[in-house]
Amino acid sequence: MEQPFYEFLTAFAQKHGDIEWHNHPGNERAVVCIEGTARWFFPTVLRNFRHFLGEGWNLYLFHTEYNEPFILEHLGAWEIQRFKVNHPRVNAHVFNVLCKDLALWSMVKEENVLVFEADTIACKPWSAEWLQWDMIGAPCGEGGRIYNGGLSLRRRSKMIEALGRFDALLTDEQEDIFFTKALRIMGARLPNGYDAARFAVENEYYEQPFGLHGTDKAYIPLTVAEKIVRQIEF
């Protein structure tokens, strides 16, 4: 993990280490997190997103049997939906397979779904403006026309429609590439590159985003990482 993000998460944990996530039947939005390792900062990432998302979100946590003891130790008191992944570990391949599986989207009941991995942070309070899109994530390919799935907001019904119209499991494309292309064919509401980068930063930075993907991958220069972290108010 790059130093600015390490320092941010450490400071956040010291100030907000008591945040818990409790699902409620009346919540209309959902968070899906697929995590296959027992990394020290993972509970802090969840608390970080809960802090900036505010009320109204249910958490669906997909994890392996291997990291269940870690999850129970650190998140056992949380009232969330947990599902065990039938894989020894979650890597990029497994993440893609799960996201392209209708079963995952059938488990989630809310229409607006925020998907994120452990290598992400939330940088500022949630805004309802993002709900206008059927899918939005950091621009990451084909001239900014592909939206990265590692931190993305999606409309559940559109994911299910895409999986019904196109056989995702027969293609080797990454899930975010598959869904972006499928939604374009379907005429779904998708943002331009600038708006996508305002939602999440991977390697294109314009202004302080809602969130950032790739805390451990050095997608952006260190100076930009430091600038983003300096602007986070918590």
Question: Which residue type is seen at 55?
Answer: E
Q: How high does pLDDT run on average in the chain?
A: 94
Q: Which residue has 């331009």 as its token pair? A: 192
pLDDT digits (tens, 9 = 90+) for 51-82: 999 999 999 999 998 889 999 999 999 999 99
Closest CA to 136 of 153, 115, 122: 153
**Are 209 and 137 contacting, i.e. CB atoms less than 8 angstroms apart?**
no
pLDDT class of 172 with cuts at 50, 70, 90:
confident
* Consecutive H or E run containing 192: none
Q: Report pTM.
A: 0.95
Sheet holding 57-64, edge to edge: 81-85, 57-64, 29-35, 112-116, 147-155, 135-139
**Are 147 and 176 contacting, i.e. CB atoms less than 8 angstroms apart?**
yes
169 has a pLDDT exceeding 80 = no
Fold of the 3-230 domain: Spore Coat Polysaccharide Biosynthesis Protein SpsA; Chain A (3.90.550)
User: Quick one: tokens of 129?
Assistant: 């403006």
pLDDT digits (tens, 9 = 90+) for 2-44: 999 999 999 999 999 999 999 999 999 999 999 877 789 999 9
How far is residue 90 from each of residues 6, 121, 154, 225, measured CA to CA in Å?
Answer: 22, 19, 21, 26
89 has a pLDDT exceeding 80 = no
Number of other CB atoms surrounding residue 70 within 10 Å: 17
Q: Which pLDDT score, from 0 to 100, does residue 226 have?
A: 97
**Are 150 and 137 contacting, i.e. CB atoms less than 8 angstroms apart?**
yes
pLDDT digits (tens, 9 = 90+) for 186-230: 999 999 999 999 999 999 999 999 999 999 998 999 999 999 999
Between CA 220 and CA 233 the distance in angstroms is: 21
Between CA 64 and CA 202 the distance in angstroms is: 26
3-state secondary structure 97-154: HHHCCHHHHHHCCCCEEEEECCCEEECCCCCHHHHHCCEEEEECCCCCCCEEEEEEEE
Between CA 34 and CA 134 the distance in angstroms is: 20
Q: Which pLDDT score, from 0 to 100, does residue 206 have?
A: 94
**How many distinct helices (H) and strands (E) make up the chain?**
9, 9
Q: Which pLDDT score, from 0 to 100, does residue 170 have?
A: 65
Rg (CA), the chain: 17
